[in-house]
Structure 1
């Protein structure tokens, strides 16, 4: 137990028990039988020296402070900061006052006294693993004066944020850091927690996560922390969480002032100031009362080179729930990107192709209308007349958006490659490998790999096919592994966070790896390309299982570290989409073509990947 908590006689074991029970529900609103004396309660007493308030569940009276920010939408309320801080850097001087459904009536600079119940709120609920937000609920607010200045902000910059990200969780507390004494001088997460609810500011900072549809962006206050070559921050290992990242939102409603559009590498210039919040989707967030201006740096969308006549170009692209109901503009933009940015690859594996009526849940599983519309858009943009091969899934058996029936699809340019059709493949019949005339061959092409195995339950099944290029057979396996949904975030109170979704991906990787080994057993020098949205990092156990026994090589590792990413999540540029090759492929050229993930305007949230080699 923290010495700072131990100093408070008000934290009884009974209150601790109430806190633990209420935390399990995600929202603590239990009133204790005792009230803390107004004469002795300040904000830092409420916050305490750990992540959980020593006064949770208690009634407090006339807590003094100055309003530093007001939120009139979403979780309504205001932030209160004490202007008479204690001498303990671990105890925050700010706290959120939640006004429930009522819009707050105070303004920044108001000097107030607040009475109410101290609670701990877990955004997303206890099952999310998120840290909790200390707050005062059911408040009674007395305004003593108005029109004053807000407390001077605490500057967050490279020097202030520790290089170490987080302490390890307490094994005796299930791996949680909730009960550990805060050490803001040692750990980035402790530093941010010690400022929870306080007025903070950042100076001009590089954008590392583009403006999203929810009117938020990510900056870094540590410009030298794992930079990518295009202005982002790389997530290169489970120990490189990048503590300089901070989410930025605005307290000004968008209807009153539009949120700025920013791409990765742009700069949020000037001073951005406001309370430090914690939310479900971003963790620590600067809720800006004053928002800086975006200075654009003109990041360009990349274009890969065209393949040589004797090179086979194979690509993968997650087109984000594409269906015929999407605007024609999306089809046109995706088609133009295939032609201009991907240089019309010979084989293109698509992920997230939805059925012919999208999310409408009426049993439709065909995606013919989707694919006709997409291939027409490619041709209209000057690309080849792609043909396609796919297998319709069983209704609602492959996960994804309910009713959408997403699946993988092969597009191929018949002027450059031939598809070796071996009929009989359907949603539940597995393809296999045989040896024919001294070479490996699929029993079904296109065919699905292990579609009824538990590894693929409620998930997209791999699609395998045989292609022929200049007389040489190439086996291509298109994948879309299980998502990371359900994993705890990097700011979880469990450290390290639980990554429960990995279990299924490990089974999926083992299934694909075993199938590739079957091909190589039948033909040692077979050219096998495994590609798609693997939903896991190049350093992950999923990738290690895929490459087990030397069956495959993760081609993205051929790139310089600063170029290894296909997705940007919470300001971390990371690998999710991959292409892996068998030893027979030999030398290749690899390109992660950055056209979406770094931009506020996206046609998909993923960047496509291209591999070129000579079979």
Structure 2
């Protein structure tokens, strides 16, 4: 299964940026902004001159001057000035000069650029130097909160780039604010007035005059630094965070612009979906209204720190991870924000402790397939409501059992309810649609620390951070404080070896195996076959890819893939397996594009004989036919069940084979039903969620049931094993269809309830893989062999299973 980390959230237009004074601290922090009118509050481009060294010029160098109207210095660490030609083409590139230091309060900062061949006067000592050769008459200069070259080439695209703080186009520049500034030439620059007036129209804000460069030391031949206009101390607006969050899932302020919302910064996310969380230290006492809020800064790295007291303005937005059509819930947040830091080093609000009694046992309110968005939150009744009522707020957990192993994105599932449906190995088992285990909670680290936890381990000590929501996993803790892992001692299962008179049959999803995988994957999977499964007589494999993996060039054969796997099994001390499979029609069986996954039988020819009957191919249906001796046989072997049926559209077709063990027939049906992709999430806004993918699996189950029923109608004593990755639960509608009429018994149901799992997803131990047998298979000895799903270093995301019988 391909996962997308919650932090990597796709967005539309980027936020604009501005820098605001911090007021009470006497220093300045640059934060996301929206364009504003005169006069600017702090840093801006104050003068641009591209005529340095040209004919008639006095100054030898081009320059860019920055000004700061604020009463505090403006830190330029990580900033740059950039230049673009006046008439850019698709191949035009921005040129970059990185900046260091700061613009003094009320002062200027001088950036020296390329030197021309003429002129006789050097610039005042520059504060930064570059080599950009600017045009004297037309071009664009930008002040950018990044040292990475811009990519925008139009005025509209640049206006949407959140890293640009100020932009000046002069002459005939295509990229500009409003109309371009006029008056630039070999002997003239364009400059703002002494108050750095900014109306977002370059032609109104800049005039042409003799160059007057000024540096941070006050050196220069122009006018003295302007007298700054005092900035009033910001004050909180009329709305607080709980007013924005409201008592339902959708903010009552959704789509509106709010100003000067007070809060203390509790967490900062500087990668992926960048932004920060604020929380009101003065809650309203209503348990249904959250006191926390995410401030989305777009591509700009937040410059606030945990403990900053801020006033934030911006547009209230409901963001749906994965898109609204995915069925996910939304995150209430501020976009296009501006912020003023009032003070730093404040104590953050106390985190609310989540223990075994905090989250209600009931998971979600029900809306009979409709949306729960408009319902009033009942945090005392439903776990999803409790988490939504704490969206953006600091929460804290103590020692917690891990129920979902750490994945590649450093996500780890824990349970806050250790007594809730525990498995013998430390997980939490899924027992039905009506009980998705409300105590599960995802932990994602913001600290940079990497966990490597297995199911049954303990995340010990304090783990705390804001509550967030993502399409994958739902509600989670964005941990700013992370506990440590205490091993639980979990070890991989080893299956019992069957007796010599017992046939052993296994199923194993090997997760898109192909020759482009490292040999180590083949070796570990092979060790699982030999050691953990005790080298079964027959192994039904799922997700064997073609000979060049995901390269989509028409290749459908898989002999190279299978031979490499068989060689790895022999190297691990296993038998010399033989194999049978049917190549699919190219790109018709779903799975990874170009991979052409299929089901494959491995069998030990020293123990079993495969009965080959010619004629089976990708489009020919296998049938159960009478053998003329009151028995039954396959029309083709190997064969596929009704491969042209709509039930198998873009999905794997079941592989059927006839085997002989000690002279007795055994029919094996290897399956890989269509995935659960497209189903509404368990944690989503639609309750109960619609399981749209179930329709096709139900049709597939009916096809297999019909085939097995037809075979048993010709020989009721036939031994049939149906197995594979059925992508659904033992209590699901497709499994009910598959076992309809009593033709098959699902062996997972013969295990204790808390052992019925072969896969762990979102912290739930659940069953997707199955082995089913016909009534003639007596006293089957069945085992799920846990070697992958509970471990952070898993080779596949599925656990194999094996059955032994006489």
CA offsets per residue over residues 169-222 of structure 1, 9 Å max, x none? 2x5xx6111011000001111011110000111101000000001111100010
CA distance in 1, matches of 2:13, 2:324: 11
Where in structure 2 are the equivalents of 1:121-270 lying within 5 Å?
A: 121-169=319-367, 175-253=370-448, 257=449, 259-270=450-461
Where in structure 2 are the equivalents of 1:385-396 lying within 5 Å?
A: 385-396=576-587
Where in structure 2 are the equivalents of 1:96-495 lying within 5 Å?
A: 96-169=294-367, 175-253=370-448, 257=449, 259-436=450-627, 437-495=629-687
SS in 2 for 1:99: strand
CA offsets per residue over residues 370-404 of structure 1, 9 Å max, x none? 00000000011111100000000010000000000
Q: Which residue of 2 aligns with 1:521?
A: 713
Q: Of 572, 575, 593, which residue of structure 1 is paired with 2:764?
A: 572
CA distance in 1, matches of 2:421, 2:788: 21
Note if contact 2:608-2:660 (Cα within 8 Å) is conserved in structure 1. Answer: yes
Q: Of 65, 80, 83, which residue of structure 1 is paired with 2:281?
A: 83
SS in 1 for 2:298: coil
CA apart distance, 1:522: 0.7
In the alignment, structure 1 residue 613 sits paired with structure 2 residue 801: no
In the alignment, structure 1 residue 604 sits paired with structure 2 residue 796: yes
CA offsets per residue over residues 351-378 of structure 1, 9 Å max, x none? 0000000000000000000000000000
CA distance in 1, matches of 2:325, 2:771: 34
CA distance in 2, matches of 1:127, 1:567: 27
CA apart distance, 1:26: 9.5
Q: Which residue of 2 aligns with 1:512?
A: 704
SS in 2 for 1:159: coil
Q: Which residue of 1 aligns with 2:252?
A: 54
* Structure 1 residue ranges without an equivalent (≥5): 1-24, 31-36
CA distance in 2, matches of 1:167, 1:198: 22
Higher helix share: 1
Q: Which residue of 1 aligns with 2:727?
A: 535
Change (3 A) 1:352 1:596: same
TM value normalised by structure 1: 0.93
Note if contact 1:38-1:60 (Cα within 8 Å) is conserved in structure 2. Answer: no
CA distance in 2, matches of 1:87, 1:471: 76
CA distance in 2, matches of 1:199, 1:557: 41
Q: Which residue of 1 aligns with 2:239?
A: 41
CA distance in 2, matches of 1:513, 1:231: 35
CA distance in 2, matches of 1:130, 1:456: 28
Tell me which of the two structures has the higher relative contact order, counting C-alpha pairs closer than 8 angstroms and 6 or more residues apart: 1
CA apart distance, 1:149: 1.4
CA distance in 2, matches of 1:263, 1:89: 34
Note if contact 2:14-2:299 (Cα within 8 Å) is conserved in structure 1. Answer: no
CA distance in 1, matches of 2:365, 2:473: 20
SS in 2 for 1:473: strand
Q: Which residue of 2 aligns with 1:585?
A: 777
CA apart distance, 1:40: 2.5
Note if contact 1:29-1:119 (Cα within 8 Å) is conserved in structure 2. Answer: no
CA apart distance, 1:150: 1.1
Change (3 A) 1:101 1:29: closer
In the comparison of the two structures, how many residue pairs are matched?
A: 577
CA apart distance, 1:297: 1.3
SS in 2 for 1:382: coil
CA offsets per residue over residues 121-177 of structure 1, 9 Å max, x none? 0000011100000000000010000011111001111111111111102x5xx6111
Note if contact 1:353-1:367 (Cα within 8 Å) is conserved in structure 2. Answer: yes
CA distance in 2, matches of 1:596, 1:251: 27
CA offsets per residue over residues 531-572 of structure 1, 9 Å max, x none? 000000011111100000001110111111111100000100
CA offsets per residue over residues 33-57 of structure 1, 9 Å max, x none? xxxx964200000000000100000
CA distance in 1, matches of 2:251, 2:269: 22
Change (3 A) 1:28 1:57: farther
Note if contact 1:26-1:122 (Cα within 8 Å) is conserved in structure 2. Answer: no
CA distance in 2, matches of 1:428, 1:39: 69
Note if contact 2:14-2:298 (Cα within 8 Å) is conserved in structure 1. Answer: no
CA offsets per residue over residues 60-90 of structure 1, 9 Å max, x none? 0000000000000011000010011102100
* Structure 2 residue ranges without an equivalent (≥5): 1-9, 16-234
Q: Which residue of 2 aligns with 1:20?
A: none
CA offsets per residue over residues 395-418 of structure 1, 9 Å max, x none? 000000000000000000011100
CA distance in 2, matches of 1:39, 1:114: 9
- The runs of at least 4 aligned residues of structure 1 exceeding 3 Å deviation read 25-30
RMSD (CA atoms):
1.4
SS in 1 for 2:776: helix
CA distance in 1, matches of 2:787, 2:442: 22
Q: Which has the larger radius of gyration?
A: 2
SS in 2 for 1:585: coil
CA offsets per residue over residues 205-241 of structure 1, 9 Å max, x none? 0000000011111000100000001000001100111
Q: Which residue of 2 aligns with 1:16?
A: none
Note if contact 1:26-1:121 (Cα within 8 Å) is conserved in structure 2. Answer: no
Change (3 A) 1:38 1:152: closer
CA offsets per residue over residues 475-523 of structure 1, 9 Å max, x none? 0000000000111111110000111000100000000000000100110
Note if contact 2:281-2:348 (Cα within 8 Å) is conserved in structure 1. Answer: no
CA offsets per residue over residues 546-603 of structure 1, 9 Å max, x none? 0000011101111111111000001000000000011111210110000000000011
Q: Of 265, 268, 272, which residue of structure 2 is paired with 1:67?
A: 265
Q: Which residue of 2 aligns with 1:18?
A: none
